Structure 1
Amino acid sequence: MAEAPRLKDVARLAGVSVKTVSNVVNGTVSVAPQTRARVQEAIDALGYQPNMTARRLRTGRSGVIALAFPELPSPYFAELAVEVIAAARRHGCTVLMDDTGGDPAAELRIASGLGDQMIDGVILSPLGLDQAKLLSRERSIPLVLLGEADLGPVADRVPIDNVAAARDITRHLIAQGYRRIGAIGWQDPSPRATAEQRLLGYTQALQEAGMEVDQALLPPVRSYFRPDGAAAMHRLLKLPDRPDAVFCFNDLMALGAMRAAHEDGLRIPEDIGIAGFDDNEEAEYSIPSLTTVAPDKRRIAELAVNCLLERIEERFTGPSRLVQPGYRVVVRESSLRTGRP
């Protein structure tokens, strides 16, 4: 059996010192990005795996972090998970993944480290958890929260500005000449933070353009999947004064809405414009391709992992932080009625 690659093997291949490789693997010292990339390439090429037992004896840490989303089958969460794993690997960390289904008890268990002393910290996108429950967690380990939910100053948060993003994509629809713009994604009677923030941005854009917010154009949905978007769009298209554009609060609902419009014989974007949110890979390859908001998933992952490691390694011990990565509106065929963005 071949001997497992060691730090000195990685150092030799990367052309750096063993100490530099150790710094990259353990994340203990800042390393120049180009050097870090070269070391990571050598690690990947050799298949080097850190000795977790030795690491724990030396630092008291395992290098294992937990990552949990409410809906792993969702393309957005799946794509973000890939970025988090890649960011963690660049710091020599291993990621343990879980799917909470949005259940508060499952989210609390994850936030407490799953009762596993081997887990150094947690990155969690909560859906059902509230501040009181989070404060009751059994084990207070380093925690970073993703997503729109604001649970108070209990952990570092890495959300994008959902209100601004929804406002910007609605402004784009208005600039394209659409005047009766619906929105799919409101939840009734218990709206979640995603629905509240994206509805607020949509509303602000309409109001600043002097346009009315028509409640008839806001069909509620139960969840954020393709069938929900299709059902909501069918309801909108049955209105006597149907919309000429629709902003969907995620790409999956937008794809369902596009299917419903096609079934009703409408052309996109000539008869009705459609926009989404998340910039899943499917959005680029749908017919027509989907205009959407693209959160910077790579930056979200990098910031979340960096914040968590700073807490784990006690390089930052201050109050909870709110760090906002960027986003952009990606204009594609589904809304481009005037021939320009």
Structure 2
Amino acid sequence: MDKPARTGRVTIRTVAADAGVSVAAVSKVLRNAYGVSDNLREKVLQSIEKLGYRPSTAARGMRGRTFSVGVLLVGMDNPFLPPLVDGFKHAMGKAGYKTLIGVGEARTHVETALIESMIDMRIDGLLLIGPRISGEALNKYADQVPIAVIGHHEAGATGFDTANTNDFEGGRLATRALIDKGYRDIAMLCLTDNRRKEGEVWYEREKGYRAALAEAGLKKSARSFRITERPDDMQAELLSLLARPDLPEAFFCWSDIHGVPLINLARRKGLNIPGDLGLISFDNTAAAALPLIELASVDQTPGRLGATAADQLLTRIKGRTTPRHDLIAPELITRPSF
């Protein structure tokens, strides 16, 4: 249906008059206040859509909340991220919040600039996914706005919250599964070690991998092969790895980012998976489940992670000061790759 022509700015009073309700009722719908009936909400939302009303974020910010939150992604190429962001947006939307998304491009200066811009927009909260900035910097920003972080472990942090899969346990779970299958020469494929380690998810997974080997009396056989995340360089490094004379019996891959291309390249080289090589990865992305891939992978339930982070932000916004550091138990999704 075409929107009616307007001769002036649409205000909350315009919406109230069109819906046949009070200004206070429209305000309650906009704030997602408790006790608003479905019938009232539907009437007001229909008028908002028909009139093209947009609440002034700046004005709402002057009165208190803007009912908007920011999400900062480390990049766009990780297939684990869309369901995570969807889970977060769905939970925040139910609470009446809009979500603004920025991409940090895995660069610290870009991340900090985006965070500061979002704070300047008077957002009510901020979710950071896989940030490259330090915990000290996170605490500085948490003094200005409620912050939840996914992809960064810092259980001692008091200023901000974290929501993560138990990455240590996930690494141990995957490695134990390979050991139980009879593999003894098990290597880990992870990221280059020129990045800060403490708090990184891949480092927690590597600690879990090494713990499982130690528990099985295989501590001395631990090997970590470090591969770049850059797509242009990754394939050459993986092919070089597969050509090594000391190729291990099995790999635990820190992420499907490496695991999916590795299983694909290994099969193209004529290796039997399993048989010549066993593989387990992490993230359980859609690509890992494809019939021609069938890569066993540790599931992080990304939608649940996003919803957990949303709950952390909402309770922080409402005044909670005690920190939360939620860990979700991982689950190994078994497929015929090991």
Which structure 2 residues correspond to residues 199-238 of structure 1 after superposition, within 5 A?
A: 199-214=206-221, 217-223=223-229, 228=234, 230-238=235-243
Between 1 and 2, higher relative CO (CA 8 Å, sep ≥ 6) is seen in 2
What corresponds to 2:332 in structure 1? 329
Tell me the distance in 2 between the aligned counterparts of 1:127 and 1:103. Answer: 9
What corresponds to 1:13 in structure 2? none
Q: Which secondary structure does the structure 1 equivalent of 2:92 belong to? A: helix
Tell me the distance in 1 between the aligned counterparts of 2:333 and 2:80. Answer: 15
What corresponds to 2:7 in structure 1? none
Counterpart code for 2:333: V
Tell me: CA distance 1:282–1:185, structure 2 relative to 1, closer, same or farther (3 Å): same
Identity rate of aligned residues, in percent?
22
Q: Which secondary structure does the structure 2 equivalent of 1:62 belong to? A: coil
> Could you list the per-position Cα deviations for residues 60-99 of structure 1 after superposition, in whole angstroms to 9, with x for gaps in the alignment?
2221110011012211123312222222212121110011
> Could you list the per-position Cα deviations for residues 298-330 of structure 1 after superposition, in whole angstroms to 9, with x for gaps in the alignment?
21111111111122232x2x2322112332111
Counterpart code for 2:258: M
1:220 CA displacement = 1.4
What corresponds to 1:133 in structure 2? 137
Of residues 261-270 and 135-144 in structure 1, the stretch that sits farther from structure 2 once superposed is: 135-144
Tell me the distance in 2 between the aligned counterparts of 1:233 and 1:222. Answer: 9
Tell me: CA distance 1:181–1:233, structure 2 relative to 1, closer, same or farther (3 Å): farther
What corresponds to 1:246 in structure 2? 251
Q: Which secondary structure does the structure 2 equivalent of 1:197 belong to? A: helix
> Could you list the per-position Cα deviations for residues 161-218 of structure 1 after superposition, in whole angstroms to 9, with x for gaps in the alignment?
1000110011111112222111111423335422321111111111111124436x42
Tell me the distance in 2 between the aligned counterparts of 1:251 and 1:260. Answer: 13
Aligned counterpart for 2:314 among listed residues 309, 325, 332? 309
Gaps of 5+ in 1: 11-17, 336-341
Tell me the distance in 2 between the aligned counterparts of 1:147 and 1:283. Answer: 20
Which structure 2 residues correspond to residues 30-45 of structure 1 after superposition, within 5 A?
A: none
> Could you list the per-position Cα deviations for residues 129-171 of structure 1 after superposition, in whole angstroms to 9, with x for gaps in the alignment?
1133334449711111111343832201111110001100111
What corresponds to 2:168 in structure 1? 163
Tell me: CA distance 1:136–1:334, structure 2 relative to 1, closer, same or farther (3 Å): same
Contact 2:61–2:122 (CA under 8 A) maintained in structure 1: no
Taking structure 2 as the reference length, the TM-score comes to 0.79
Tell me the distance in 2 between the aligned counterparts of 1:200 and 1:70. Answer: 23
When the two chains are superposed, the root-mean-square deviation of aligned CA atoms in Å is 3.6
What corresponds to 1:92 in structure 2? 96
What corresponds to 1:15 in structure 2? none
Of residues 91-100 and 139-148 in structure 1, the stretch that sits farther from structure 2 once superposed is: 139-148
Give the count of matched residue pairs: 316
Contact 1:75–1:280 (CA under 8 A) maintained in structure 2: yes
> Could you list the per-position Cα deviations for residues 216-258 of structure 1 after superposition, in whole angstroms to 9, with x for gaps in the alignment?
x422123275953x44543443333321211111002011111
Gaps of 5+ in 2: 5-9
Taking structure 1 as the reference length, the TM-score comes to 0.79
Contact 2:138–2:160 (CA under 8 A) maintained in structure 1: no
Q: Which secondary structure does the structure 2 equivalent of 1:220 belong to? A: strand
Counterpart code for 1:297: P
Tell me: CA distance 1:148–1:117, structure 2 relative to 1, closer, same or farther (3 Å): closer
Counterpart code for 1:56: R
What corresponds to 2:281 in structure 1? 276
Aligned counterpart for 1:198 among listed residues 193, 205, 208? 205
Counterpart code for 1:255: V
Contact 1:113–1:141 (CA under 8 A) maintained in structure 2: no
Tell me the distance in 2 between the aligned counterparts of 1:2 and 1:221. Answer: 54
Of residues 117-126 and 92-101 in structure 1, the stretch that sits farther from structure 2 once superposed is: 117-126
What corresponds to 1:338 in structure 2? none
> Could you list the per-position Cα deviations for residues 32-83 of structure 1 after superposition, in whole angstroms to 9, with x for gaps in the alignment?
xxx99xx89x979x97998534992896222111001101221112331222
Tell me: CA distance 1:214–1:238, structure 2 relative to 1, closer, same or farther (3 Å): farther
Contact 1:186–1:199 (CA under 8 A) maintained in structure 2: no
